[in-house]
């Protein structure tokens, strides 16, 4: 099954904050944020949107999955599909703490 990973516009502020945290961590390589985003997408593709350790959370707005991706990166996302052999992962935010 094909997996399409998309980032909702509501995720933009948290993605910028995540990028800034990554860049503030030595050595501050400007390529690192894109490397981590590419690996995040790859993880979703390899696991069909259900990486090990992800949890369904009804208490979030909107209800969705939470996954601790790496270090201080908690990802809140939705799964849609499969529709016509494609499952969509819609990322709603990346936060330094588990979403509450």
Question: Which of 9-13, 88-92, 96-100 bottoms out in mean pLDDT, i.e. has the lowest?
Answer: 96-100
- d(Cα 91, Cα 62) in Å, to the nearest integer? 12
CATH topology for 2-95? YaeB-like fold (3.30.2310)
Beta strand residue intervals within the chain, DSSP E: 2-7, 55-57, 64-70, 73-83, 86-95
pLDDT, residue 70, reads 86
Residue 90: count other Cβ atoms within 10 Å of its Cβ: 18
Give the per-residue SS3 of 34-60: HHHHHHHHHHHHHHCCCCCCCEEECCC
What rounded mean pLDDT belongs to the chain? 93
pLDDT, residue 71, reads 82
pLDDT band at residue 98 under the 50/70/90 scheme: very high
| Domain spans in the chain, listed from the N-terminal domain onward | 2-95
């Amino acid at each position: 099954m094909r997996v399409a990973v998309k980032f909702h516009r509501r995720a933009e502020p948290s993605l910028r904050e995540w990028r800034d945290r990554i860049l503030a961590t030595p050595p501050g390589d400007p390529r690192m944020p894109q490397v981590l985003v590419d690996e995040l997408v790859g993880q979703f593709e390899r696991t069909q949107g259900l990486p090990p350790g992800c949890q369904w959370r009804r208490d979030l707005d909107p209800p969705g999955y939470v996954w601790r991706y790496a270090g201080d990166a908690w990802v809140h996302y939705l799964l849609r599909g499969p529709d016509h052999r494609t499952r969509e992962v819609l990322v709603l935010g990346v936060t330094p703490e588990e979403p509450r």
